[in-house]
Amino acid sequence: MNKDTFRVVTRGADGKIRIRDYDSEEALLRRHSQVGVDDCSTDLGLRGQPVFRGLIGPMPDGQNIIRYESPEVFESLTKEWGTKAPPRRARTKR
């Protein structure tokens, strides 16, 4: 399946996460400046996708979504992800 939805995740002035989806690359290009293309992603569906000034990405987000994040959101979500403790497994008695 082609990745055909572009998602930009930022943080609003009130501190809440804001998510905006674009149906096409052209709509995204109207709001953000392209500075290159991704040529090294391990996800082959992302190769050739645009890289934008001030956004981290592209990165996969589900089956058909290409995700970009502001640096602040990327840092905070990465810290959250890294500090989550893995679920504890119960030991089985033999």
pLDDT in tens, 6-46: 999 999 999 899 999 999 999 999 999 999 999 998 888 89
Is residue 63 in a domain? yes
pLDDT for res 79: 85
Is residue 93 in a domain? no
CA atoms of 6 and 10, how far apart (whole Å): 13
Name the domain count of the chain.
Answer: 1
Query: What single letter denotes the amino acid at residue 3?
Result: K
> What distance separates the 2 farthest-apart alpha carbons in the chain?
63
Q: Is the dihedral of CA 55, 59, 47, 25 positive or negative?
A: negative
Is residue 84 in a domain? no
The encoded tokens of residue 9 equal 């995740």
Domain enclosing residue 62, as ranges: 5-79
pTM for the full predicted model: 0.80
pLDDT for res 1: 57
- Cβ atoms 47, 59 nearer than 8 A: no
Is residue 85 in a domain? no
